[in-house]
Structure 1
Amino acid sequence: MPLATKPFDAARYLDGPEDYAELLDDALATGHRGYIAAALGTIARAYGVDRLAADTGLNRATLYAAFRDDGNPTLDTVLRVLAQVKVGLGAKRAA
């Protein structure tokens, strides 16, 4: 009998702003646009997309489209989402 499996979703394991910030820091450190967008999507799912849409005034479709691997969210979208999930966006000098 084959082993039943489920797709892994990191959103199930994120428990608030500290976890969100750690994931986003990791994604930003790679500089990979797709990973950064996907990390933001994971954060959105962990927070709750319906709740995030209501709290930010953005619609669900915008959030899902912006935070796919190939998404290209606007700065406004990113900042509104990060403010709502209590994560700041910082910068540091590149090596």
Structure 2
Amino acid sequence: MALIPFDPARFLDSEEVIAEYLTAALEDPDPDVFIAALGDVAKARGMTQIAQAAGLGRESLYKALMPGAKPRYETIRKLVDALGLKLSVAS
């Protein structure tokens, strides 16, 4: 029996699920976890459309979301805005 690789993007089908997924990713001290989660959400929403909405080339977006990438805050902010999300800080 062949195993199919797990793809979280297949399950990111509502705003609530996406918010919970990204919130959990932000709790991890490794920034790559949040960047990967943003990539999963962008994939679920359509990478080409998100890249256009963020004002980025599709290839640039893929590079920014690759494991080990160190995207600038400006890039993350554009992506978050393009996804229609809002980051907040709570104590």
TM-score range, shorter chain: 0.7 to 0.9
CA RMSD of superposed structures (Å): 1.4
Which residue is equivalent to 1:31? 29
1:60 matched to 2:58: yes
Describe the SS at the equivalent of 2:5.
coil
Structure with the bigger RCO (C-alpha within 8 Å, sep 6+) is: 1
Q: Report the CA distance between 1:92 and its aligned residue.
A: 2.7
Q: Which amino acid is 1:76 matched to? A: E
Which of 83, 86, 91 does residue 84 from structure 2 map onto?
86
User: What are the equivalent positions in structure 2 for 1:3-82 lying under 5 Å apart?
Assistant: 3-82=1-80
> Structure 1, unaligned stretches of length 5 or more?
none
Residue 43 of structure 1 deviates from its aligned partner by 1.0
TM-score, normalization by structure 1? 0.84
Query: Sequence identity, in percent?
Result: 34
Count of aligned pairs: 91
C-alpha separation between the residues in 2 aligned to 1:66 and 1:83?
15
* Equivalent-residue separation in structure 2 for 1:19 and 1:87 (angstroms): 12
Q: Provide the C-alpha distance between the structure 1 equivalents of 2:15 and 2:75, rounded to a whole number of angstroms.
A: 18
TM-score (norm 2): 0.87
How many Å separate the matches in 2 of 1:18 and 1:70? 27
Gaps of 5+ in 2: none
Q: Which has the greater radius of gyration?
A: 1
Q: Deviations over 1:59-94 (max 9, x none)?
A: 11111111122121211211111112221111134x
